[in-house]
Amino acid sequence: MTYHYSDCGAERKGGASVEYIDMIDQIVAAEHNAKTLVEESRQRQEELSAGVEQEIARLREDYLQRAGHRIEVVKQLEQASAEEAIARLDEKQRQAMERVEAVYEKNRDRWADTLFTMIAGTRP
């Protein structure tokens, strides 16, 4: 919509020329166009800001999903590693117990005699 100075009831009183009225109309139209451009720019800026915020939210969600997946992979790897370490320690403990039992079986009678002698003071 174009505004005209002449629409406001301006007349050529006191010798106002048509060029002067046209110049005022151009100024009013330029101001109106400037306001329209400012409003369009403001709306565009709001749209861009909203778009940027949505993109940031999407990127954040994507990053969190990837990080969650990496955490799960590391957790599974660490769990498997821990289970392997426990299995190795269990095997070492089993082997150590076998050695202790073998030494016990080999020396049990001698140890019993030695303890008896130490306690009773005589040989059996």
State both tokens at 95. 């082997």
pLDDT in tens, 54-89: 999 999 999 999 999 999 999 999 999 999 999 999
Cα 61 to the chain's mean position, in Å?
A: 7
State both tokens at 79. 């769990």
Identify residue 88 by its one-letter amino acid code: R
- Residue 29 contacts by C-beta under 8 Å, 6 or more apart in sequence? 2, 3
Note down the domain range covering 106: 5-120
Domains of the chain: total: 1
Q: What is the pLDDT of residue 16?
A: 62
The pair phi, psi for residue 5, each rounded to 5°, is -60, -35
pTM for the whole structure: 0.48
